[in-house]
Chain A
Amino acid sequence: MSEEHNPEPGNRILEVRLGATKAEGGTRERVYTVGGAGTFPFLGAGPAAGHPPRIALEICDDTRTWSPIVLREVGDLAEDTGAWAAAAETTFGADMVRLSFTSTRQRGFDDFASLGTTVEEVIGATKYPLIVEGSTEPAIDSEVYRRIGEAAEGERVLLGTAEADRYRSVAASALAYGHAVVAQTPIDINLAKQLNILLHETALPPERIVIDPYTGTLGYGFEYSYSVMERIRSVALQGDADLARPMISSAIDSLNVKEVREADPETADEVAIRWEFYAAFSALIAGAEIVCVRHPGTVALLREALRALLEGSHPQEEAYGDESA
């Protein structure tokens, strides 16, 4: 479609701010702005290029379902969520940590107090903005998101995940405690738009929403995700204000696919990293502003690729430096 290459001037992706400095009521030493682009990604420098993308490393509070390849790589860190989070920033070089509360997935989970403690621990251990993923079980949403939101009050974290039939608790938590929200829909542009409208109706300001169009794993449907990301970005630039939001992508099943699980132990790390890398890298090309991976090695490779892509479009310091320390 030819019109996709000629977005109407003036249509921009909204800027979403993540993290809050001490002056803003938080404790982050760096804060990020994502979004702001007026054109497709990596088309050169200038104000239309928007803010640089960010790389998040995913960690969790209950490692039972986490990839053994990653657990081998991070070793003892997996037993100490705070230390794992700190290492993500310092040792592994991620722009931000995405903390998944996998503990809430167990049947009959009710240790809600632990959520607040873990959030506080991770906040204490890190300096950059955070993404926090709550429950996937509607019955405990209310309690889970209240605890997380409350414990992170003032830090302007990115809270996940709102879905079309269960977005109220996430939105309420964001409203009550000043956070932003990941709005996920299953690879469908209309549903993405609808969810943004529904979130808007809760009075959540649009500049506090990041779209997650859902990312299928490479070889297992990634092309659908790529295409929907491209389309969301394309109609946003053509003036569809309900979709003019930054996007986040995480091909969360990358390390669970047969090819990675059954890889020769000798090369397993390499296979895992490549599997994550190509999905995340392609997502960046499709327009994602935040990409999330789980293997620390993928962060380094993405960083290198991103550097090469951005050269000329962003001065290096701006691309990787902090904005407001």
Chain B
Amino acid sequence: MTSIDTVLASGRERLDEEMDALEGSVGYEETAYALPVTYAVTGMAVHDAASAREAYAASGSSVLVAGECLAAAGYAAEGGEGEPYTGFVPDTVLRRLGYSLVDGSIAGIGLVAGSPDDADAAAAICREMQEKYLLTFLAGGVIKTLTEAGVKVGLEYRLVPLGSTGMAAIHFADIIARVAMMFGGVQPGDTDRLLNYAAERAKAFVIAFPGLEDEEVAVIDGFRVLSIPILTPEGYEGGEWIRVPYLEAVREGMERRGIRVNVVAIPIPMACSPAFEGKSIRKEEMYVEFGGAKAAAFELLRVRPADEVEDGRVEVIGPEVGDLEEGSAVPLAILVDVAGASMKKDYEPVLERRIHTFLNYGEGSWHVAQRDLVWVRLTKDVVRRGVAIADLGRLLASKFRVEFPDLLDAVQVTLVTDRERVEAMLEEARAIYDERDERIAGMKDEDVGTYYSCTLCQTFAPNHVCIITPERPALCGAITWLDAKIAYEIAPAGANQPVEKGELIDPVLGQFEGVNRFVKKASHSAVDRVSLYGMMEEPMTCCGCFECIATILPEVNGIMIVNRDYLGDTPLGMTFSTLAGTIGGGAQTPGFVGISKGYILSDRFLQAENGIERVVWMPSLLRNELKGRLEEKLERMGIPELFDKIADETVAVSVEDLAEFLARVDHPALAMRPLI
């Protein structure tokens, strides 16, 4: 066992000595980047021993610079090693490699250096790297070990044999330096940008085997400055080198550098595409169905520790499709377990909703509703073609990985069709649903420093900006604060951007300095200020997607709310659609505001205008939909009687009738400060 700490010092000393003893010319051919690492770090184009020593000093005695100068001196004196070794990779070849890296056809790069004792283990590591779309460079005895074990090496196999000694590892660094200069716009001599580029873009790691000379260890250890982790399955201990078991080395390296492989084709015997999303499967076409009130069924997506999730694993517990009679209704539990470094428990419900979308992508699979109300069908046609219940799991596992590459590292799916087990798990699932509802319901605006924007609708309402807070979902009702947060994490350049709320300007109106600044910019200077919690002064703009409109009724000093589904007249004398045409398009219309249904139940609901206590009218449809939750809220507020004081169209459609009703029930709005 070699102690890194011990050999580093002697390795550095050897490099120093060799630099001192350096003579003659120093340089590579077929490159416009001189000695690439040295050039990138110092900006100096080295060509002989003297300039090499100068650059070495200028770099602050960088081991990488020393290693490169020594390697290039060897080249200048004797040329490359020749077949099968590539040695220094010329610019033209490198350009292609860089292309594949930027283009994503290579997921990342790895260096395997040293002389492994166990040829099979080394071969297994290289095979895994090939399978994971990594480009692997080899330096040292490992090349001989591999070729003797029958492994083919060469650029075409994505196993690049750099050279017979560990010192050839330096070419791994010169490749990264040149990619940074060619593709990353890093200027020679700008070390900070080089290191940034390496940290953010160079998806690289090293696996080191025993047998490296001291100075080779020193050079490879120097790679750490480029944010390259050094993993070692055997032979070394100490320093900053990371001990890993053989089988874990590649996974560990990929994980540390955030390298992810995109799975493209889904290995199931039916087509899978958004094209099939809108289809329905009629009873006559159906082979088997799950849930849908005919049998217990539910779906649950949970985040699990990485070691409990085996990526791609699909298991069916209970009867498979072949065991089921045509036309039967069967229980089903869809359990999706996910793992990922940046995956959080809060994301579970949002990702769980995607089960619906993904299962509908299947040519012959259909899914409706959510949670413990799900209903799934498979067609006779695809069952005849060999689609099994397990294929639904494969579909889900692949789609989740493909759609959320940055969020999820592993997805496994368990499908349970055994009645007893499904029923037993149902209670547990319901407890989790309740817990989630509470978590979102319990979130307050003051608990967070960041709100989110939504500018999806700028396509047709060019200056409209939605500000989404925990207590005020987007006015379309489709995007909560958590949804927006996740959308941002998944697509950082997308339509949901973080909005630092900044200094509080007015706690009642809900005006924040940061929000105003954001809105001004995102609305292209059309809107200077917005009140998140009010409708009379600088209310939020409306696109056209609002679930409901809240407007003032000056005659009764109250607020009425009308929802999109209500087609009749309102006490304002306008239907929903007439009203919508008046206030949409990205304008600020004091006295009128587009809102989601969820916002009505929020404690922040139009608090500047006294909130829910000011509401005098809403259609019975909406009133009934909100009934349970609204009554609960009013109970909590100590005004349970208010619910019955809110009129609907069965009580009043004209403002005169409404006024009479409100007076009769003594609605609190009548006694409030005038709205106008």
Contacts and interface: CB of A to CB of B under 8 A. Distances in A.
Contacts of B184: 203
A238 B523 CA distance: 11
A195 to B, nearest CB: 8
A168 B455 contact: no
Interface string B171-204: 0000000000011110000000000000001000
Contacts of B101: 172
A145 B524 CA distance: 36
Interface in B411-458: 455-456, 458
A231 B462 contact: yes
A154 to B, nearest CB: 12
Interface string B90-133: 00000110111111110000000000000000000000000000
A173 interface: yes
A67 interface: no
Contact of B185 (A168, A177, A194, A203): A203
A151 interface: no
B524 A168 contact: no
Given A189-B459, A189-B462, A197-B493, A175 B182 contact: yes
Contact of A190 (B100, B104, B495, B526): B495
A146 B493 contact: no
Interface in A148-189: 149-150, 168-169, 171-173, 175-177, 188-189
Nearest to B98: A176
A229 B184 CA distance: 30
Contacts of B494: 194
B183 A142 contact: no
Contacts of B103: 141-142, 145-146, 168-169, 171-173
A235 interface: yes
Interface in A1-45: 1, 3
Interface string B61-103: 0000000000000000000000000000000000110111111
Contacts of B493: 194, 197-198, 201
7 contacts: A146-B99, A172-B103, A176-B95, A176-B96, A176-B182, A190-B495, A194-B495
Interface in A187-242: 188-190, 194, 197-198, 201-203, 205, 231, 235, 238, 240
A176 B184 CA distance: 10
B3 interface: no
Given A3-B526, A172-B183, A240-B524, 10 more contacts: A141-B103, A142-B105, A145-B103, A149-B99, A150-B96, A171-B103, A175-B102, A190-B495, A194-B491, A231-B462
B107 to A, nearest CB: 12
A203 B310 CA distance: 35
Contacts of A146: 96, 99, 103
Interface string B484-496: 0000000101110
Contacts of A149: 99
Contacts of B95: 150, 176-177
Interface string B376-413: 00000000000000000000000000000000000000
Contacts of A3: 524-526
A202 B103 CA distance: 9
A95 to B, nearest CB: 29
Contact of A176 (B99, B201, B458): B99
Given A203-B183, A203-B184, A203-B185, A176 B525 contact: no
A238 B525 CA distance: 9
B459 A190 contact: yes
Interface string B451-495: 000011011001000000000000000000000000000010111
Contacts of A235: 462, 524
Contacts of B462: 189, 231, 235
Nearest to B101: A172
B183 A238 contact: no
Contacts of A190: 455-456, 458-459, 495
A173 to B, nearest CB: 6
Contacts of A172: 98-103, 183
Nearest to A167: B103
Q: How large is the interface on A (under 10, 10 to 19, 20 to 34, 35 or more residues)?
A: 20 to 34
B585 to A, nearest CB: 11
Nearest to B201: A203
Nearest to B184: A203
A177 B96 CA distance: 10
Given A194-B493, A198-B493, A175 B183 contact: yes
Contact of B102 (A141, A176, A197, A240): A176
Q: Give me the 9 closest cross-chain CB pairs, A-B, nearest first.
A: A172-B102, A172-B103, A197-B493, A176-B99, A169-B103, A168-B103, A172-B99, A175-B183, A142-B105
Contacts of A171: 102-103
A150 B103 CA distance: 14
Contacts of B491: 194
A190 B459 CA distance: 7
Nearest to B105: A142
A231 B460 CA distance: 11
B104 A205 contact: no
B197 to A, nearest CB: 8
A142 B183 CA distance: 16
Contacts of A194: 491, 493-495
A307 to B, nearest CB: 33
B100 A189 contact: no
Contacts of A175: 98-99, 102, 182-183
A206 to B, nearest CB: 11
Interface in A76-128: none
Q: Which of A188, A190, A194, A231 has the most CB of B within 10 A?
A: A190
Contact of B459 (A168, A177, A188, A203): A188
Contacts of A173: 99, 103
Contact of A205 (B100, B185, B201): B185
A241 to B, nearest CB: 11
Given A168-B103, A172-B99, A176-B98, A238 B524 contact: yes
A16 to B, nearest CB: 17
A47 B26 CA distance: 50
A188 B183 CA distance: 29
Q: Which of A142, A150, A175, A235 has the most CB of B within 10 A?
A: A175
Interface string B11-42: 00000000000000000000000000000000
Contacts of A150: 95-96
Contacts of A189: 458-459, 462
Nearest to A238: B524
Contacts of B99: 146, 149, 172-173, 175-176
B315 to A, nearest CB: 31
A202 B102 contact: yes
Contacts of A231: 462
B100 A168 contact: no
Interface string B196-215: 00000100000000000000
A215 to B, nearest CB: 17
Contacts of B455: 190
A162 to B, nearest CB: 11
B405 to A, nearest CB: 12
Contacts of B104: 168
Contacts of B458: 189-190
A189 B456 CA distance: 10
A1 B96 CA distance: 49
Nearest to A228: B459
A169 B101 CA distance: 10
A142 B99 CA distance: 9
A231 B458 CA distance: 11
B100 A142 contact: yes
A194 B184 CA distance: 20
A236 to B, nearest CB: 10
Contacts of A145: 103
A240 B105 CA distance: 33
B193 to A, nearest CB: 11
B349 to A, nearest CB: 25
A238 B524 CA distance: 7
